[in-house]
């Protein structure tokens, strides 16, 4: 998980919170607002309710990601927080790659008029990314298709 910063046409700054699955390349959350730090745990809980808690969450050392609330919640649910080394974004390569695409293909292409506008357009991009965009590393399946195949294999008792 990570953050990107952007702004509305009025100049008001917004944060974009991204949460993805490095294995399936699926983006599980993409939330936009003027302040996200406090709500971040809520986003994580919503995803965990749908998908279960991960064993590990990889993140950088940004101030939004090193707070006590996240640490407490991770400990409660036995989730290991794996912080990348400072100044080593390549340890977070998939996230950096996605965020670069999000910036180039969505955020830089739009002129957000309002917060609802800034929430809707990236959400549509996330849905397109998950359902329409094949990935060579997933044998040209979309991330949603690949995730579904993984779930089916687990349900059948095969290794993911």
Q: How far apart are CA 21 and CA 44, in angstroms?
A: 12
* 53, 32 Cβ separation under 8 angstroms: no
pTM to 2 decimal places: 0.83
pLDDT the model gives residue 158: 62
User: What is the distance of C-alpha 137 from the center of its chain?
Assistant: 18
CATH code of the region 2-154: 3.30.420.10
Long-range Cβ contact pairs of 126-135 (< 8 A, separation 24 or more): 126/27, 126/30, 129/27, 129/98, 129/101, 130/26, 130/27, 135/25
Phi and psi torsions of 38, nearest 5°: -70, -30
Q: How far apart are CA 137 and CA 2, in angstroms?
A: 22
pLDDT along the chain (160 residues), means of 10: 91 92 90 82 86 87 75 89 82 81 94 95 95 94 94 76
Q: Which residues pair with 55 in a beta bridge?
A: none
């Amino acid at each position: 998980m990570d953050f990107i910063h952007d702004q509305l046409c009025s100049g008001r700054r917004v944060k974009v919170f991204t949460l993805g699955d490095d294995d399936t390349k699926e983006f599980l959350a993409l939330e936009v607002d003027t302040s996200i730090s406090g709500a971040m745990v809520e986003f994580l809980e919503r995803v965990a309710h749908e998908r279960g808690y991960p064993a590990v969450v990889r993140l950088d050392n940004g101030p939004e990601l090193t707070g006590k609330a996240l640490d407490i919640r991770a400990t409660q649910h036995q989730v290991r927080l794996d912080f990348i080394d400072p100044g080593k974004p390549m340890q977070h390569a998939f996230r950096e790659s996605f965020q670069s695409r999000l910036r180039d293909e969505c955020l830089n292409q739009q002129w957000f008029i309002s917060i609802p506008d800034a929430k809707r357009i990236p959400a549509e991009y996330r849905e397109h990314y998950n359902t329409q965009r094949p990935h060579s590393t997933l044998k040209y399946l979309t991330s949603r298709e690949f995730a579904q195949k993984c779930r089916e294999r687990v349900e059948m008792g095969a290794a993911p």
